[in-house]
Structure 1
Amino acid sequence: MHKHAEEAINMMWQRYDEPLTMTDLAGAALLSKFHFTRVFRMETGTSPGRFLAAVRFYRAKHLLLRTSLSITDISYRVGYNSLGTFTGRFAKCVGLAPGQYRHLARTGIGMLSPPRRTDDPAQCGTVLGKLHNPWTDRRIRVYVAVFSSPILQGIPVACDVVENSDHYLLNSVPPGDWYVCAAAVEADNFDTAPWDRRPVFFGSSVPVSVRPGVSYKVDMTLHQTRPVDTPILVVIPELDSCRPPVEVTTVRQAQ
């Protein structure tokens, strides 16, 4: 990883509650703003502004689940001066409003359900492939999903939950340019707050241009999570209970 980009990311995690500017971040990286933006996008796959927003919402998720602070207080603590702006952007990125997300801690992960899709399967494509995971003696569960950006946020358009297998299948992916992302968690981690588990491995693809009636083979190599990986905003492992209807995706578990 480019050491200058890493310095900027460290600043984001340490000072996410401040009104950081591009000048601040480029200064931490000891680069001009133009060169910094180019290097940062090359290293992370996204812009500094979107990465910073992901850091802020990741911290907001933690505060919602681990503290009794009001949503207004949390919005200020993660760098937002407007509660309305914070609430709207949080809902767009995480897939739930802040209050709903906090309610998740009391009711469990089964509360999530995606909007029912009406896409005609004949007008969609299929994405499938093999997962190459680093060696581990732990049993893992891999969540593979399709998003509109390299940042895992919101409700995916299709997803698969794979265990005891190294192949995934995503049916009825709408036409368009999509990113296929994978996150692996320990399958035997019985945390009392499973929605707060951090992935041990992560991987993503280059953009895939999906066309109707076409299957795309996209193999992915997962790696141990790194500072350059953007924070995961979609609620994991709630994908177990928020996967789209059967006609939209196939969720398999190897026998």
Structure 2
Amino acid sequence: MAVERAITTMWDRYSEPLSMDDIAGAALLSKFYFSRVFRSVTGTSPGRFLSTIRLSRAKSLLLETSLSVTEIAYKVGYNSLGTFTTRFTRSVGVSPTRFRALLHGDRPSFSPPETDAYRRSGAVHGTVVLPPGSTELRVYVGAFGSPIVEGMPVSCDILDCPTDGCRVREYRLGSVPVGEWYVRAVAVAVRWADVDPRPWARNPRFVGAGEPVVMRDGQNVELRIPMRAVDLTDLPILMALPELDNRFFPEPVPTVRWDPEFASH
């Protein structure tokens, strides 16, 4: 498949100054036609996909190596430390230095700054439906400002699915501000037998997306989220969780339901 060839090239050569011509050439398509096909398959542009791969690799290098932030920035294809730091912070939700420091600390805070927008809000609730044959999983559900799972969700719920029989789980996202939001879910394996204990190797097993939600004040939206196996055309997950979730360490922490309505008290 042309798009898969292009994505494989991005993963293999993310540190290089890849141009659109280079990526389209790997797909054996003209540049203009390739861009349209790529967006129709992945939901985003080739340039955005490449940027996501670079930041995903930066997350891994911050956790598995002692390279400096500057060294990592150049290693993943950035020519400017400032640009790298700004994009990493916006996409992951914390700065590169903070992300590394959190490895052996507490789960990163997802509390956004309080604004007047949070006085006019509603809620999203429903179920996530996992494929049959799933092992023990932890599912992260969040409301984001774009279809890409990055940055800080405006509301987040974390669900534990301890057995294969736990295919349907209920979630609730409270205090979702008025506006348009994208509800996304990511599931990772949590059994030591099924997951590499190194945090940078914990790749998502399943992903899911609901229809865009246009929230109105006081509204309560019900949304079902079917989950499916991750494939090559899925964007890497950039938000700080799940890599920094202490649930993966020997002493698990309790399930957290974060709600800005209560976090402000």
| Fold-level similarity (TM above 0.5) | yes
How much has 1:86 moved relative to structure 2?
A: 0.6
Q: Which among 217, 221, 230 is matched to residue 225 of structure 1?
A: 230
1:1-255 maps to which residues of 2 (within 5 A)? 3-105=1-103, 107-119=104-116, 123-164=120-161, 166-189=169-192, 192-194=197-199, 196-237=201-242, 238=244, 244-245=258-259, 247=261
Give CA-to-partner distance per residue, 1:42-80, whole Å, 9 cap, x none: 111111111111100000011111111111111111000
User: 1:110: Cα distance to partner?
Assistant: 3.0
Task: List per-residue Cα deviations over 1:141-179 (Å, max 9, x = no partner).
Answer: 211001112221111111111224512111111122221
8 Å contact kept, 1:91–1:97:
yes
CA distance in 2 between partners of 1:205 and 1:111 (Å): 25
Give the residue type in structure 1 aligned to 2:65: T
Shift of 1:120: 6.2
Per the TM alignment, residue 245 of structure 1 is displaced from its structure 2 partner at its CA by 3.9
Structure 1 residues without counterparts, runs of 5 or longer: 250-255
- Contact preservation (8 Å) 1:13, 1:55: yes
Task: Tell me, yes or no, if the aligned pair for 1:19 and 1:79 is still in contact at 8 Å.
Answer: yes
Q: Indicate if the aligned counterparts of 1:150 and 1:179 stay in contact, CA closer than 8 A.
A: yes
* Closer, same or farther: CA 175–102 of 1 in aligned 2, 3 Å: same
What runs of 5+ residues in structure 2 fail to find an aligned partner? 162-167, 248-254
Provide the secondary structure at the position in 2 that maps to 1:218.
strand
Report the Cα distance in structure 1 between the residues aligned to 2:118 and 2:73, rounded to whole angstroms.
40
Q: Which amino acid aligns with 1:125?
A: G
Name the residue aligned to 1:253.
none
Deviation at 1:233, TM superposition (A): 0.5
Equivalents in 1 of 2:259, 2:214: separation in Å? 23
The alpha-carbon deviation at position 187 of structure 1 amounts to 3.2
| Higher mean displacement: 198-207 or 224-233 | 198-207
Deviation at 1:109, TM superposition (A): 3.5
Query: Against the structure 1 CA distance between its residues 187 and 117, is the aligned structure 2 distance closer, same or farther, given a 3 Å change threshold?
Result: farther
Q: CA shift at 1:111, angstroms?
A: 4.6
Shift of 1:116: 4.4
Equivalent pairs, count? 246
Name the CA distance, whole Å, in 1 between partners of 2:54 and 2:123: 34
Q: Deviations over 1:81-130 (max 9, x none)?
A: 1111111111111111111111122x324353533434566621221222
- Aligned-partner Cα distance in 2 for 1:242–1:137: 22
What SS is found at the alignment partner of 1:54? helix
| SS at 1:220 equivalent | strand
For 1:169, give the aligned amino acid.
Answer: R
Work out the CA distance in 2 between the residues paired with 1:243 and 1:84: 34
RMSD over equivalenced CA pairs, Å? 2.4
Q: 1:38 to 1:109 in 2, by over 3 A?
A: farther
Q: Counterpart of 2:21 in structure 1: which amino acid?
A: T
Q: Secondary structure at the match of 1:152?
A: coil
Identity %: 48
Displacement of 1:220 after TM fit?
Answer: 1.4
TM-score of the pair, normalised by structure 2: 0.84
Q: Is the Cα contact below 8 Å between 2:156 and 2:259 reproduced in 1?
A: no
Instruction: Work out the CA distance in 1 between the residues paired with 2:30 and 2:63.
Output: 38
Q: Distance in 1 between matches of 2:198 and 2:256?
A: 17
One-letter amino acid of the structure 2 residue matched with residue 247 of structure 1: E
